[in-house]
Copies of this chain bind each other. A is one copy, B any other.
Amino acid sequence: MAIQQKVILYLISDSVGETAFNLAQAAMAQFPDIKPIYCRFPFVHTQEKLMRVLEQAKSDHAIVLHTLATEGLSEIIANYAEQNGLVQIDYIGPLISEVAHRTGLKQSHEAGAVHHLNEKYFDRISAMEFAVMYDDGKDPKGFLEADVVLLGVSRTSKTPLSLFLANRNIKVANLPLVPQAHIPDELWKVDPKKIIGLTNDPTVLNNIRRERMIAYGLNPDTTYSNMDQIREELEYANKLYKKLGCMVINVAHRSIEETATIIMEALNLEDYDYKTSK
């Protein structure tokens, strides 16, 4: 029997509050039996607004999680929490204090500074548009411009993976592999280091494809979900990967985030270092 426990989390931000929400989810994933109630309060910029949220938090006996850069607001929470026995966690304050201490610099106190509409931000939008434009082998010209070319048979998560990488400023084109179809000439001109061959376990693929057929209201036992057919497709794909000399990743038990991290690590694609301490 699953125990249901009521945990109310207040997420307060002077910007969108996306990061605090993701972090809260990561922590709460440690308690699969709890279904937490998340209350998000984005764009809290003033003391008045904040005080109303805190009074509500008190009456809800909520845990308060916050990422507030606006001057004075995190201090208000700390004081209110101490006086009223409220539990609060400041997700950005400790790092800001430490950096200020080390460098002697003062924080800008600008809310949502990370969402600034700077050049990098527009690059990210371009990367997303690139991913949509060159999804599904739509235009082979994309292979030559892309930072990464993803190959894979149907249902190896090419599209969501392309979009996830795009969100990290990486230009991705992808090509679905079908044994009978022609491989565009452009692919052979791409540096094999930029190509990633996606593969999957036949049984996992069989399940996913059967489910997809059911979702479409069709008979699940089609050639699309046939095991021999799937094995043939995967064999075809693996032979092509060998011929191209590209890296191969099995996505069977990996989330998009995990596969994306492996790719970024292997290709050294971002403006920070991935380190693996072996």
Contact = CB atoms under 8 A, between A and B. Distances in A.
Contacts of A182: none
A138 B102 CA distance: 53
A39 B275 contact: yes
B96 A27 contact: yes
A41 interface: yes
A274 interface: yes
Interface in A109-155: 109-110, 112-117, 121, 124-125, 128-129, 132, 135-136
A71 B167 CA distance: 32
A5 B65 contact: no
A96 B30 contact: yes
Interface stretch (A195-203, A219-227, A234-242, A250-258): A250-258
A80 interface: no
Interface string A1-28: 0010101000000011111101111111
A265 interface: yes
Interface size class of A (residues with CB under 8 A): 35 or more
Nearest to A23: B19
Contacts of A28: 95, 99
A232 to B, nearest CB: 24
A97 to B, nearest CB: 10
Contacts of A47: none
Given A34-B105, A98-B63, A135-B132, A27 B92 contact: yes
Interface of A: 3, 5, 7, 15-20, 22-34, 37-44, 49, 52-53, 56, 63, 65, 67, 69, 87, 89, 91-92, 94-96, 98-100, 102-103, 105, 107-110, 112-117, 121, 124-125, 128-129, 132, 135-136, 157, 159-160, 163, 166-167, 253, 255-258, 260-261, 265, 272-278
30 contacts: A7-B103, A16-B257, A16-B258, A20-B23, A22-B22, A24-B95, A26-B92, A27-B92, A28-B95, A28-B99, A29-B114, A29-B116, A30-B99, A30-B109, A30-B110, A34-B103, A38-B272, A39-B273, A42-B261, A53-B275, A89-B94, A112-B255, A112-B258, A115-B257, A116-B255, A124-B160, A125-B157, A128-B159, A163-B167, A167-B167
